[in-house]
Amino acid sequence: MKLKLSFILICAVIALSGCETLKQIKAENDQKLLNLAKESCSKYGFAESTDSFANCVQKEINEIKNRSAIESASKNVNDK
């Protein structure tokens, strides 16, 4: 009985630690995406801390996500 409980607890700890890793990966990817969008908007000539810059960043993030979704869908269609 103790062995079964120990096994369940170990499995729970492993499962939960995996969730944290996924959260970290998502946070890192989100930060990379934000940095890429900010870099692009700066190159376009927008000044940081302005509404125009914020709008540009939002549009860039949406464009990157849309391109990624299209590429992923295209890859799935080609794999079939």
Q: Are 56 and 41 in contact (CB under 8 A)?
A: yes
pLDDT at 3: 63
Q: Please state the pTM of the whole predicted model.
A: 0.67
Q: Which alpha helices (H) appear in the chain, and where do they start and end?
A: 2-44, 51-79
Dihedral, CA of residue 77, residue 78, residue 79 and residue 80, to nearest 10: 60
pLDDT(18) > 80: no
Q: Which amino acid makes up residue 24?
A: Q
What pLDDT, in 10s, does the model give residues 27-68? 999 999 999 999 999 999 999 999 999 999 999 999 999 998
